[in-house]
Amino acid sequence: MPGSSFATPPPNPQHAILSFPAPHVLLVTLNRPRDLNCINAQGHADLHDVWEWMDEEPSLRVGILTGKGRAFCAGADLKEWNTQANNTGKKAPQPPSGFGGVARRKGKKPLICALNGLCFGGGAEMIINADIVIAASRAVIGLPEVKRGVVAMAGALPRLVRTVGKQRAMEMVLTGRTLSAVEAERWGLVNEVVQVPDVGRGKDEGENEEDSRIVVKRALGFAADIAGNSPDAVLVSREGVKLGWEGIGADEATGMLSETWVKRLYEGENIKEGLQAFVEKRAPVWKDSKL
């Protein structure tokens, strides 16, 4: 998908690589492998802009986030944080969308996290707010903030309990212990674990890249399924699930969805195309969403 096909040019983040591996799909690869893809202040601002651009770009329907090297994201850049604290006594502010532009993101398009390796702190906060999480079998997940005297304040604490339940959330955040990918899948924090060869893995850069390729390939399968559906119906369906996850009652959420989205959905081109394609027994040809 060449840049000329976009309504506006893609952002140029300093510590992430943007690519377009399939129609309607944006792949964002965190690119600070020597720092385990820890995100600094510039990274938060850049990623906020990336996801804002994806939501407004008509031709894009789903995003994937992964990391380069042996980490998905090991959390905040604690060296930068320490320097800021010593100089100003404060931590640099994050954008309203939170850690990595994801942890408190209110965007309308689906986001898949492809965990290629270590996922700690803010990295875990991002996957808690993602829509789908695919993990390599060697990936590990944790919220170790209590071990550093800090607190996970990017939205993870109240959201985690809705996903895994109170006791498991308490275990995870109060002990700071690490979960394997398989355990995280059993808890409901991960959708699917993809097996990657684990003998000798994790040290050689080429091996790490192969692990990333495997898990991103599976994430692309999910992305293709999403991108092949009505863009309008995907946006509205996702919003309905989010309303319930955020704690809004079923009747109230359904009413909000109807008042805000459904009228526009029914007046759009894609619902007409979907129904007509069904009658004609052919594959639908979707238009970019205008919702």
User: What secondary structure letter does DSSP report for 161?
Assistant: H
145 is catalytic: yes
Strands (E), the chain: 16-22, 25-30, 62-67, 71-73, 111-115, 118-120, 132-136, 140-142, 178-180, 192-194
Q: Which of 52, 125, 209, 252 is catalytic?
A: 125
Query: Which region, left, alpha or beta, applies to residue 59 given φ > 0 means left and ψ of -120 to 50 means alpha?
Result: alpha
The DSSP call for residue 3 is: G
DSSP character for 247? T
DSSP string, 84-140: HHHHHSSPPPPPTT-GGGTTT---SS-EEEEE-SEEETHHHHHHHHSSEEEEETT-E
- Catalytic site residue 269? no
Q: How far is CA 116 from CA 18, 73, 137, 201, 210, in A?
A: 17, 9, 9, 12, 10
* C-alpha to C-alpha distances, 100 to 16, 44, 65, 72, 164, nearest whole angstrom: 11, 5, 10, 12, 22
Length of the chain: 291
The residue annotated as part of the active site, out of 57, 80, 145, 185, is: 145
Cα of 182 vs its chain's centroid, Å: 19
Residue 71 main-chain phi, psi, to 5 deg:
-125, 140
What DSSP string runs through 196-221? ---TTTTTSHHHHHHHHHHHHHHHHH
Which residue, 60, 61, 65, is CA-closest to 17?
65
Catalytic residue IDs: 125, 145
